[in-house]
Structures are given as structure tokens and as C-alpha cells.
Amino acid sequence: MTRTPALPVEQAGATWSGCHTFAARELLRPRSIEQLQEAVAASTRIRALGTRHSFNDVADTDGSLVTVQGLPERIEIDEQGGTVTVSGGTIYARLAERLGATGWALANMGSLPHISVAGAVSTGTHGSGVQHRNLSDAVRAIEAVTADGTLRRWTREEDPDFAGRALSLGALGITTALTLDLVPSFEVRQDVWFELPWAALLEHLEEIMGAAYSVSVMPDWSSRERAGKVWLKSRTDAWDDALDPARFGARWARTPHGERAEGQLPHQTDQGGAPGPWWQRLPHFRPDANPSRGDEIQTEYFVDRRDGAAALAALRDHAERFAPLVLVSELRTVAADDLWLSPAHGRDSLGIHLTWANDPAAVLEVLPVIEAALAPFAPRTHWGKWSTLPGEAVREQYPQLPAFRALAEDADPTGKLRNDYLERMLGLGRG
């Protein structure tokens, strides 16, 4: 089969933060599902690229990258079923804005709404909240072009392997659309505590992480006394139950009338306690601004929430080694799920996130220190962020990995959708 001549081809480029340059020889941008099918069928090596917000080579290939962002947009709400079917290349900001005009909401969002739905669910992207699972868990149906160019659809109800499909690191096909669970719309207010002492955080971690609908702690590893700020995203209909930070030796951020809350940066969503729609409060970053800094590297490790305080204490013992390189750190919770490759598989998890200065050599030197400190807690790494964990250490954390490998080998016998990353991390050979 020959490639359709009109298929737009671009340079592969680099990840959003620039810390990985793609080895792929080109980026294909099909304009129709048929054009995508032809491109996949004609390729010997091809991988999907989302909005490039992963930090490592998870998306890369030595063949072609393909984006579904040029396909016609779909955002179709099923009022009866309480779901939305969305094209895979759609970004959360666009989806949320459209849902915002209805009585529906997504239960949770990641820190940035700039990412594509297909890319986010492929890596287990998560927000925070002791009750909330990652974004992949909201997937109820998947439409994808498989390795042989066939367009297929799977549903949670009918497919016995569905727990292996949404969070699949691009190894099973090029996702063209996803059906997601919705919840009735709700309002959120965001408030901030300042000066939380480390001692209180370690002693009351569970209570603090459960203090609102979604809680993020932003620890300061350079201080022995003060862990720092806590961002609380509370449903306005549960605000009366809010905890007093004075109980933990912290205080509310000051919110001068008509001004940004104390410490809030221009690219962040409102932190001054003003009620607003879920989609303007759950993400940390405003859709119309650049998220985070850009010139950075990110890592995130997940441990069992019950081990959270012990894991943080173990990391603190090495803080002198790594704190000077840390730009921002964040602790979030992700509820347990049964997705085969989920970092929260089978355990309620604490995510320990670190945003690093873009100094790859220095970061690569301290990651083994962090990983050794966390080793007693069986850490799982975020699939889209950096880690130096050896493949065996990664693989032993996923009891369903053999089932996933069988699914991938069956879906793609010649390994055209596989890459170095999948071989290194999952032991998935390229046929």
C-alpha cells in the first residue's frame, strides 16, 4: 500500500520541555481516519505522539511519529449514559470548556489542561484526591487504529482485557477517540495554607491529604522545619467541613480584596477562595498561559499511601543532596485501581513529584539517591517522567505485566508500535 500523497509530514522535534529530542524521522499529521489507517498499515515502525508533555522517550520511535490532532474533533455527550466521547487529540482545556456549558463534569483533572486526552490516559496522568483514581480509570470505551490499520472499538463492559487497554503507553494502537465517565457538574474553591511544619505533615499526612476534594502539598526540601504550602481544592457544597490549618501549626494564605492570593503566580488558577467551575479550579495552571516553567525535568514516584510518611522521612535524610536542584515539589494522592499498568494498581498511593532544574547530568546523579531511599517502599515511577530505576525493578511492581505483554504481542505481532522505552521498562521486544 502506498502512502496518500496529501499526508502532511513535519519534523519530529522534541518534547515540550526540550529534555528529549525525538529520534523519529518524521511526524505525520493525518487529516482523516482513513489517512491514519493507511499510514499505520504502510509503516514498519510508528508511534503516536500527543501534545509532547512527557519528559522521556516513552513516545519515541526509530520510524514515524503520528499525531491525531489533525483529525476532525469529536465531543459527543451521552446524557443517558453519563459519558462523553472525545477525539483522542482533543486537549482537556477544550473538552472541559465544552462540558462547562453543560450540567456535566470530569471527576478530576491533572495539573495542566494543555495535554491531549489520549496522551494523558496512555501514561496514567493523575490529579489529586484520596477518592480519585487517575484519568485513565475514567475511560469506558476506546476507538483505535491497530497495527494492521484496522479501526476497532473496545468497551469496559464487553472486553475482558479492558483493564490493559487505556493505560497502554501507545503499545496497542493509535487512539482516535475515548469515551469517558462524567459526573454531575460542581463548583470548587481553591485555598492555600502557608507554613505547614514538616513534623505536622509527617504526623498527620493522611488527614492533611484528605482535607479537601483534592489536596496538593508543596514541600520545601531545603527547610528542616517548614514543609511549606498546601493547596486545597474544596467542593463549595462541602466547604463547611474545612479544617482549620492552625490545628497543624499552619495558617491561611492572605487574600487581599480584588488581588491575587498571597504567593499565587499569574499562570496559576485562582487560589483566593473564590468559587468557580470545576474546570477552572482543579488544574493548577490556566489554559491560556504556559504551564510550569518549560525549562525543566520532572520525576514522580508512587508509594503505598500507608507508607507515605515513612517514605518522606527517608527522603528527607538525603535532602541536602538533592534539594539545591529542585525547582518545585508536590505530593498528591491517587486512589487504587485495577488497571494493569497503573502506578496506583492495587494500592492507594502517594505521588512524590519533583520538578528539577534542566541539568540532566546533575539530575541523573541524584535520582539513584532518591530511588535508593524509596526502595524499601517499592516505588513505581510515572511513565511519562524521568527515572533511573532498572527495568527489573519496574517490572516486579506490576503483577499483571505478563497479561499486558500478551495483549501487546497479540495486537502487534511485528512490534511496529514498540520502541526502546517499552523494551527497557516492560521487556517488550520488537519481534
Q: Is 71 in the site for ligand FAD (CB under 6 A)?
A: no
| Distance of alpha carbon 405 from alpha carbon 411, whole angstroms | 10
Q: Is 408 in the site for ligand FAD (CB under 6 A)?
A: no
Q: Is 59 in the site for ligand FAD (CB under 6 A)?
A: yes
Q: Is 125 in the site for ligand FAD (CB under 6 A)?
A: yes
Nearest to 219 by CA among 295, 313, 298, 307: 313
Residue (49 or 426) nearer to ligand FAD, CB: 49
Nearest to 89 by CA among 154, 36, 15: 36
Residue (20 or 226) nearer to ligand FAD, CB: 20
Q: How many residues does the chain have?
A: 431
| Distance of alpha carbon 419 from alpha carbon 60, whole angstroms | 7
How much is the CA Rg of the chain, to the nearest whole Å?
21
To ligand FAD, the closest distance from the beta carbon of 233 in angstroms equals: 13
Binding to ligand FAD by CB under 6 A, coded x per residue (else -) over 259-288, reads ------------------------------
| Binding window for ligand FAD (CB under 6 A); candidates: 30-38, 51-59, 154-162, 406-414 | 51-59
Q: Is 331 in the site for ligand FAD (CB under 6 A)?
A: no
Residue (170 or 308) nearer to ligand FAD, CB: 170
Query: What is the spatial order of strands in the sheet that 75-78 belongs to?
Result: 75-78, 83-87, 174-181, 139-145, 151-155
To ligand FAD, the closest distance from the beta carbon of 334 in angstroms equals: 8
Binding to ligand FAD by CB under 6 A, coded x per residue (else -) over 4-23, reads ------------xx------
Local structure of 264: helix, strand or coil: coil
**Among the listed residues 35, 37, 43, 51, the single contact to ligand FAD using CB under 6 A:** 51
**Among the listed residues 129, 170, 272, 379, the single contact to ligand FAD using CB under 6 A:** 170
Q: Is 116 in the site for ligand FAD (CB under 6 A)?
A: yes
Q: Is 96 in the site for ligand FAD (CB under 6 A)?
A: no
Which parts of 11-116 fold into alpha helices (H)? 33-42, 92-100
Q: Is 149 in the site for ligand FAD (CB under 6 A)?
A: no
Residue (175 or 271) nearer to ligand FAD, CB: 175
CB atoms within 10 A of CB 320: 11
Residue (50 or 228) nearer to ligand FAD, CB: 50
Q: Is 138 in the site for ligand FAD (CB under 6 A)?
A: no
Q: Is 118 in the site for ligand FAD (CB under 6 A)?
A: yes
To ligand FAD, the closest distance from the beta carbon of 6 in angstroms equals: 21
Per CB under 6 A, contacts with ligand FAD among 372-401 are 382, 384
CB 337 within 8 A of CB 356: no
CB 418 within 8 A of CB 412: yes
Q: Is 53 in the site for ligand FAD (CB under 6 A)?
A: yes
Distances (CA, A) of 402 to 100, 281, 302, 322: 40, 39, 21, 35
Distances (CA, A) of 376 to 208, 293, 337, 354, 369: 24, 32, 22, 19, 13
Per CB under 6 A, contacts with ligand FAD among 289-308 are 291-292
Q: Is 178 in the site for ligand FAD (CB under 6 A)?
A: no
Element (H, E) at 47: strand 46-48
Q: DSSP state, 229?
A: E
Binding to ligand FAD by CB under 6 A, coded x per residue (else -) over 214-253, reads ----------------------------------------
| Binding window for ligand FAD (CB under 6 A); candidates: 25-33, 100-108, 121-129, 154-162 | 121-129
Q: Is 107 in the site for ligand FAD (CB under 6 A)?
A: no
Local structure of 301: helix, strand or coil: strand
Q: Is 54 in the site for ligand FAD (CB under 6 A)?
A: yes
| Distance of alpha carbon 296 from alpha carbon 341, whole angstroms | 26
Distances (CA, A) of 125 to 14, 346, 359: 20, 16, 24
Element (H, E) at 315: helix 308-316
Instruction: Please give the residue ranges that form the binding site for ligand FAD (CB under 6 A).
Output: 16-17, 47-54, 58-59, 68, 88, 110-112, 115-116, 118-120, 122-123, 125-126, 169-170, 174-175, 291-292, 382, 384
